Structure 1
Amino acid sequence: MKRKTWLKIGIGILSVLLIIDIIASFYFYNLAIDRGEKDFLQGNEDLEVSAETMEVLLEGDWRKWVDEQDFDEWTMTSGDGLELKGYFLESEEPSNKVVVMAHGYLGNAMDMGLYGQYYYEQKGYNIFTADARGHGASGGDYIGFGWHDRKDYVDWIERIIERYGEDTEIILHGVSMGAATVLMTAGEELPDNVKAVIADSPYTSVYDMFAYQMDRMYNLPSFPFLPSTSVVTNIRAGYSLKEASALDQVKKAEVPILYIHGTDDTFVPARMSKILYENTKSEAELMTVDDAGHGEPYVVAKEKYIDRMNSFLTKYTDWQ
């Protein structure tokens, strides 16, 4: 009789834990992956930046510059039927060079104007940027964290080449989620037109990033919550958290990659860029920026950032 009682108690406890896990899985999906505002980021200490950086990000001259540009709006239907939006700005003087940029989590295409202004004004390059699925004017009811977006970027690249010619040369430049996006793209079969990748503050995989944040924000272990959240994500968004891996993709990359990361980044730790760098198949370089938090390197050390970027491009491409 006691054995049956303990068995019932055990089954009851397991059932309760299973229910909690299922509820938590949907909670975390809605929290981070479902499209919409993310209140959990409000007041997040890991995303705090200096007053100087905040002023540049919110009120910098580049914002006015973006508003003044006449971007050509492109529309594309993704392989799974989403309507996506991209924005192309032709250089003032004819150029066969195009910088394809990818924005971060909860951002939009025009956020990359912070970098685009330099490429356009100082280097004379064409620039292209797109709203990731689930962001801006693009369709999608979930955030892909770069995984499905990688195929979208392959399609954007093909469209650029088709429109501007076979001699078009392209580099990819992404920040945060956008950095993971261009790294995931780098692992795909790309045309020779793609010459290099610049990845600023990337994560190794969605699973790794969530595990890190779950521990940091909630003091929770990754198991069993992340495997079950991954199942929910697979059902609702069509990908698992582990398969969405920049690390696996760079192991297949053929194009040179420059990694940039702030040493004070506590949202996506700099060690993730180091791991990516150490596992990259192609030629790669890693630059760290002291006293820079998440996505801050360009603002904190702009001259160093630009110098390293230019020396990298000169070393591995014919871009000047």
Structure 2
Amino acid sequence: MKKLLVTLGIVLSYILLVGFFFTNKMMFIKKKTEKEILDQETFDGHYNHEEYEALEKKNVIIPSPHGYDIKGSLIAPYDNGRYMIFCHGVTVSRFNSIKYMNLFLKRGWNVLIYDHRRHGESGGKTTSFGHYEKFDLQAVVNWVRAEYGNDIKLGIHGESMGAVTTLLYAGMIEDGADFYIADCPFDDFEKQLVYRLKVEFRLPGSLVMPIAKTFLKLRDRYSINDVSPIAVVDRIEHPVLFIHSEKDDYIPYESSRLLYEKKMGAKKIFIAEKGTHAMSYTENREEYQKIINEFLEEIGI
């Protein structure tokens, strides 16, 4: 009896340790400070403080359907009905989207950059890697259309978690933008977590995922299985440009290959030769801009 109790105690301790440790790492992933983000973007040549401050910006506050405020910045110098929304990756903020924002400002697009839940100035207690974030993106899209009309041309660009958010949103029934650019998304959250468990902790997914999935469902009220762009990408009616770096060692570029292959209709893919995760533009600037130009021309925008 004593051995049984000891064994049960060990098993219970393992379940609690694994459940709380790994769901904490997901829900409360450590974020970079604003200074860290801006220092990196400045070092990479993407951010110029004087130029950014000189832009005429409108502070935007959009209510999330989950009860907090989504905060962002709108730069709209053009009266041409063209708008881009940018979704940043995990741990950073809207400032990480400035490099992509500048690409489209130069091409005559009005732009909106915003902070995901629990990032930057936006509210929200947890990070869900695209699940709750897709509903926030829906609120942002609805706000832009309510402000500027349903006849505008609207595109969405997402990087990493922002790309996953973009695809999950696009896979919803409304598919509310005219085109999407997904830079380095994973194709399935559980698959990505199993991969990171092996790389970072040298643990097989079978020892962790059943426990982590149950704890996440109880703690953050969503299923890991719901965060799966590959499950919805064939529902996306509008064109998608997939971008990934061949040397990405955080989210393997095969994820974008799989998503591209399953996407129906208009699509394009660019696998950059240089750059690690989320560095396709930084390390391949001319090629990145060229592929965007080609994509927009091919889809008639």
Q: TM-score, normalised by structure 1?
A: 0.86
- 1:145 is aligned to 2:129: yes
Alignment of 1:91-240 (within 5 A): 91=77, 93-120=78-105, 122-190=106-174, 194-240=177-223
1:111 deviates by: 1.2
- 1:28 is aligned to 2:11: no
1:271 deviates by: 0.9
- 1:83 is aligned to 2:83: no
Structure 2 residues not aligned, in runs of 5+: 33-38
Aligned to 1:265: 248
Q: Distance in 2 between matches of 1:70 and 1:259?
A: 31
Q: Distance in 2 between matches of 1:245 and 1:66?
A: 35
Q: Distance in 2 between matches of 1:179 and 1:102?
A: 7
Name the CA shift for 1:277/1:12 in 2 (closer, same or farther; >3 Å).
farther
SS at match of 2:154: strand
1:18 deviates by: 3.7
Q: Distance in 1 between matches of 2:82 and 2:28?
A: 36
Q: Distance in 2 between matches of 1:268 and 1:165?
A: 37
Greater CA drift, 136-145 or 275-284: 275-284
Q: Distance in 2 between matches of 1:129 and 1:312?
A: 21
1:76 deviates by: 1.8
SS at match of 1:129: strand
- Structure 1 stretches of 4+ moved >3 Å: 8-15, 35-38, 54-59
Q: Distance in 1 between matches of 2:52 and 2:188?
A: 31
Check whether the contact 1:62–1:117 (CA below 8 A) recurs between aligned residues.
Answer: no
2:13 to 2, 16, 19: 19
Name the CA shift for 1:18/1:275 in 2 (closer, same or farther; >3 Å).
farther
Q: TM-score, normalised by structure 2?
A: 0.91
Check whether the contact 1:154–1:190 (CA below 8 A) recurs between aligned residues.
Answer: no
Aligned to 2:295: 312
Structure 1 residues not aligned, in runs of 5+: 39-53
1:163 deviates by: 0.6
Check whether the contact 1:263–1:289 (CA below 8 A) recurs between aligned residues.
Answer: yes
1:71 deviates by: 2.0
1:115 deviates by: 0.8
Paired letter, 2:281 = Y
Name the CA shift for 1:61/1:209 in 2 (closer, same or farther; >3 Å).
closer
1:35 deviates by: 5.5
| Count of aligned pairs | 296
| 1:118-153 Cα deviation digits (max 9, x unpaired) | 211x21110011110111111111102111111111
Paired letter, 1:170 = L
Greater CA drift, 226-235 or 150-159: 226-235
Q: Distance in 2 between matches of 1:128 and 1:220?
A: 40
- 1:290 is aligned to 2:273: yes
Name the CA shift for 1:59/1:265 in 2 (closer, same or farther; >3 Å).
closer
Check whether the contact 2:44–2:282 (CA below 8 A) recurs between aligned residues.
Answer: no
- 1:277 is aligned to 2:260: yes
Larger Rg: 1
Q: Distance in 2 between matches of 1:66 and 1:180?
A: 27
| 1:58-110 Cα deviation digits (max 9, x unpaired) | 4525342333323211112211212211221102x312111111001111112
C-alpha RMSD of the superposition: 2.3
Paired letter, 1:301 = N
Paired letter, 1:20 = Y
1:205 deviates by: 2.2
SS at match of 1:136: coil
1:14 deviates by: 5.3
Check whether the contact 1:201–1:262 (CA below 8 A) recurs between aligned residues.
Answer: yes
Give percent identity, aligned residues only: 24
Paired letter, 1:68 = A
1:9 deviates by: 4.6
